Structure 1
C-alpha cells in the first residue's frame, strides 16, 4: 500500500488486506478576539469670561393723591369717574337736618405719573469652550 501526493491510498497486488483503512481529516478554525486601543481622545474645557454692561429702561409709577373739598348738597351718590389720567373718588356723608340731604364732602383725586430711567448694570458672562484632541494607540496626536 502506498500513499500518493494527492492524499489518496493506492494498493498494490502484494498488499491484500481484508480491510482498507482510509484516514479522514477535518480542519477546524477558531476565532478569538481581544480589545486593542487604536486611538484615544482628550477633551479639554476652558471658560472665557466677558465683561459687559447691560442697559435697560426701568419705569416707575408714582401716585399723587389730592383732596379737594367740595361741601355741596347732592341728590344722588356720585359715581367713581376718570378724567384723563385722574381718577376721582367721591367721598360723601349723610347729615341730619330737618330733612336728610346727601352732602358731597370732598373728592379724592388720584393722579398717576410714570417716569423712565436708564440703568446700566455690569455683569460677567461665562462661555465654555471644548477642544478635542485625538491620539493614536501609541499616544501620538492624530492629524486629519
Structure 2
C-alpha cells in the first residue's frame, strides 16, 4: 500500500496553523441569604358575647320584556333598589338600497 501524502521536496516548506485559546477564570463573592420559616398554630376557645345582626331582603321579580339601546344602570327608587337583568339579542334589519 502506498502513502496517499506525496513526499516533501527538500526545498519545500509546510505551514502548520497554530490555534491558541485563552481562558480567564475569576471569582466573585455574593451574599447569600437563607431564611427558615416556622409556623405555629394555636387554638383557643373564647366565649364571645355579641348581638348577632340579621338583615332580611325581599326579592320581587317583574317581567319587563322591552328592547333598549344600551343596558340600563342600577337605580334606587326610595328604599327599593332596582337591578336590571339584561340579555343581548341580535336584531336583524334590512336596508333597501334600490328598487327597479
TM range (shorter): 0.3 to 0.5
So what's the TM-score if we normalise by structure 1?
0.27
Higher strand share: 1
User: Which structure would you say has the larger Rg?
Assistant: 1
So what's the TM-score if we normalise by structure 2?
0.37
- Where relative contact order (Cα < 8 A, 6+ residues apart) is larger, the structure is 1
